[in-house]
Structure 1
């Protein structure tokens, strides 16, 4: 359910695909392109960076949600086609991938506690946004999927893979990525993708139940504790190569695009 009857245009007048609502020390950020399933676009990444890149020290909790029936259906694949049309070497994909990593890092490293509120589908990039948050609650109808391999793409968006390995474990992640199967909210809790599952109508109440005690914590201690948690998590991901995500994605997509455009080279008939 959406917590935003009207857009907050007072503090962020330039926002087109997000809605923000500041309620005391809690900032609500809603992905707001429900007609497109809140698919992640270049414009959405730019606006998320606009909101997250310069943290307000008075904000103690950030709630990330999606408008409509689904949290986020993943990345906008039509933009990949447009990027390749403009630059077949994948330059646009690299730029977008760098922004994606910055957005996810901004959620993870934000001094405020970040809470993902998930209903419906969270696919690919949508799942990456969820995992970048500190606390994650899902509706009973929430489902998750990593379809990248089926789409001919690597699991290389926003640092998703190292976060998955850290939170879920390599054996289960391997199965989810190779099969591309969907999993429901209750399995997501067992996998540590979610912390809690509630009826959809109770999502706001579940978020508030987390936010209330967080807001009572001394701000200095809370910031330091979150920094410590992030530092120890990073230490467990010493082989994190997510800085290369944009290069990997661009290389694979550009190579596949070239292969389709030159089928004779793919089959070995070079002349």
Structure 2
């Protein structure tokens, strides 16, 4: 695993050493890179804890946060091996519930972040990877990027990090039914049509596309930028009516613990 890079980042708790991220601070710009490429940047409890450490200790002077990923893929989703470990340790789903709560906190921290958040997506973005990107304000993807929400095919509800209400808000209910119920792979062009991505560029132009967003954002007066983002979040939330994604951890735990029960006890 690559060593974390911490440059001019707000002081983190002494007991927390980032194991799954590389973080770089350049003035009002903070870059957070998922950094477990050998595992496709799959989301683990350790990664969620690292993300919470960074987001909870974020300097208020940060105006833009870029979420990126090392290696070929943005994120291959949640670590199913870790789910199995949680169930083996607690068949009632306590570990799954705790993990789901962490996921919700991370995605909420990105969405409600006072800084403008930008997702830089390459390769595969699957399940939880889609949720992390979708929690960001602006999302650019390589034209070779592919997306999938395979939870149903894996026997799971689409209940991770508040993904479903955000996805319906951005893409529309009818189109969300298609990609969730079929679990099919869709490309960057369709992700753009669905507003999962706002911009699609060749892979070698990803950094330039991010910079094209970041530069003008950094020139905006900080108070106006912060208030405008808060207004946009408030108006978007008001269109969701009832957001039951607070139940995501409970739903995930209930479904997985039921599947894990011995057949004779069902």
| Residue aligning to 1:163 | 166
Provide the TM-score with structure 1 as the length reference. 0.93
SS in 1 for 2:133: helix
| TM superposition shift of 1:265 | 5.0
| Residue aligning to 1:58 | 61
More displaced 10-residue stretch of structure 1: 51-60 or 176-185: 51-60
| Residue aligning to 1:240 | 243
In structure 2, distance between residues paired with 1:5 and 1:44: 14
In structure 2, distance between residues paired with 1:7 and 1:237: 38
- Map of 1:65-214 to 2, 5 A cutoff? 65-214=68-217
- The answer to whether the 8 Å contact 2:4/2:20 transfers is no
Matched length: 260
| TM superposition shift of 1:54 | 3.2
- The answer to whether the 8 Å contact 1:55/1:110 transfers is no
| TM superposition shift of 1:236 | 0.8
Unaligned stretches of 5+ residues in structure 1: 267-271
Q: Which digits, 9 at most, give the CA deviation of each residue in 1:109-161, with x for residues without a partner?
A: 01100000000000000000000000000001111000000000000000000
In structure 2, distance between residues paired with 1:208 and 1:103: 24
Unaligned stretches of 5+ residues in structure 2: none
| TM superposition shift of 1:55 | 2.9
In structure 2, distance between residues paired with 1:10 and 1:42: 25
Q: Closer, same or farther in 2 for the Cα pair 1:116/1:66, shift >3 Å?
A: same
- The answer to whether the 8 Å contact 1:72/1:121 transfers is yes
In structure 2, distance between residues paired with 1:10 and 1:191: 37
Provide the TM-score with structure 2 as the length reference. 0.95
4+ aligned runs moved over 3 Å, structure 1: 9-13
| TM superposition shift of 1:6 | 7.0
SS in 1 for 2:42: coil
| TM superposition shift of 1:58 | 1.0
More displaced 10-residue stretch of structure 1: 23-32 or 6-15: 6-15
CA root-mean-square deviation: 1.5
